[in-house]
Structure 1
């Protein structure tokens, strides 16, 4: 008698969920017309998977299984509430079509939900919080960390966004051409934030969350294809391609973080670099450079430097000077300080850092990490050690905390 193979553990189920959740919520939102209900149904399907897969094993098409489970639950709710026929009529589908467990393989549902959630009826902060929650699957804590606001504030924004969409009867469909352009800035911002969380996780044990970075890159490519005559759409695609190209070298063989100056550039993805430079050239041909095009140009400087020593820091510093004028914010100033520290010496970088207003980014780990690096470059090791220690206390990411703690320990007396 053959022994039964044990089913997947919770970690395996949750890993599959992270891959499938965005497509699942987006498709359910189109099906139900209600983002809040779609999220609840997706969570119900996750609970069912956690209960059943450890016993029965992972199904051949886990995404389809989750969709079927969630849709069946939705149909039960529609029937119980007496709204099934009305929901089907609104979608222009038959009952048999509605129960078909298909997920759009190219992501149209996600793009539709992304543009719908960026509706002008919603305040900017509501749009961003809602899409980061539903499409990126970020927790309220992770979203709060991205915006440096308290967790309850994010929870309120998400709830109010769902309520506004529901109360105003806003359809979760791709808008017309003019409305697409009106919403594009919000859409690009959300994609950018999803990528940032994937490229450098704000919390947890993992240094990166590859599924989020890949989702954001795919959405950026689709948005750029949808808006081929908009420079910033091409610029965002270029920025994400060029940045993601470095991902294979951002950790060592043991999974520990490796920062840009220490990376093995032979491990960079040359195909992504070519795609990124092509997108950047398309953006240049379309006209004036906005924030994403400028950031892509900076990423291009890194991507085309054969070694860290050959990096054109003078050009990067100049691009950050322009970026700060176009999009002034403390994080840009922080990056500008590092660029000038490399281009003009650590004292110049510290002078830029000193322009931050009192208390700005005080709870932001990378503010202290940049200060630590500039102080170390200036030979002020005691102060550098203290700055790295502050950075370690302000990050919620375990791998990053270990990195900053190591840097503090390795700074010479």
Structure 2
């Protein structure tokens, strides 16, 4: 059986205020092209189809068209809800959609009910686990107290293994799960799912499963021999600028072993981070004019309206920060936190932060007079 493993579409997400729907539809259309070109039997979407619990009408339309293209390319679709999705909304009409080849798994109560498929070598059970919020899932899973992610995922996998044991001998197994597995590294754009400071589960939770299709972490990676993260199909943070986005093509063999192949997706608009003075950036990176750009300015004095000036040259510049070389460390950072910084220090630090230079003698005289006048008002009030 040939499986295409993807996850974390986050349809409807914006990137530093930039609407990404057109980018997302382009890449997801390319995903459908991969399905057709490689004659994929089933596409697994391991959570976070949408970026928010109540997606916009436009986001729903993009997701609907993308799912339809996957079906038209010849694949059955198995999708589960992630921590960004609203499980009840995503799971609406799931029974009717299954008749058309779209199998949605969003309920904790139904997590041990696999999508049963078959090929020339026999049956394959695909268990798509929805994101398991510990406090919400514990009752349905029969767990006492206040469990963490490890406890609820362990309980869920016990149910999966019990169901698998009831299937015909030789049934191969696939689990899709939306979780932070120990050994994985975050891409930088994931929302934390920490409970009590711990958000991870161990890989051993998924023992005895032939292939585990993971979602949540946005960088593609392998966890041991049987676990894979496909990552997001687009970068959603400048920390992901060097990522190669794509999906895992999994050929599941008769004995439950598999052969994997990484299939890259097209880059709509590359991400780049540049550092330098405003003059250096405006003249030195013209080849990046079509990139999404994050700019770190090192001018000694904070430039005026830097984003407006940058976008005249780089229309896709999205972020700008000012980090002057050799800037004097804030004198009041510790004092302000403790509530002990003087008014003079606070005003001096404000000037230093805004323009990278301390007050001149004339400015200091004005500051001293203003503060003296303020104290006089307080005394006579």
TM range (shorter): under 0.3
TM-score of the superposed pair, with normalisation by structure 2: 0.26
TM-score of the superposed pair, with normalisation by structure 1: 0.25
Report which structure shows greater RCO (CA 8 Å, sep ≥6): 2
Report which of the two has the higher share of helix. Answer: 1
Report which of the two has the higher share of strand. Answer: 2
In our comparison, the structure showing a higher alpha carbon Rg is 2
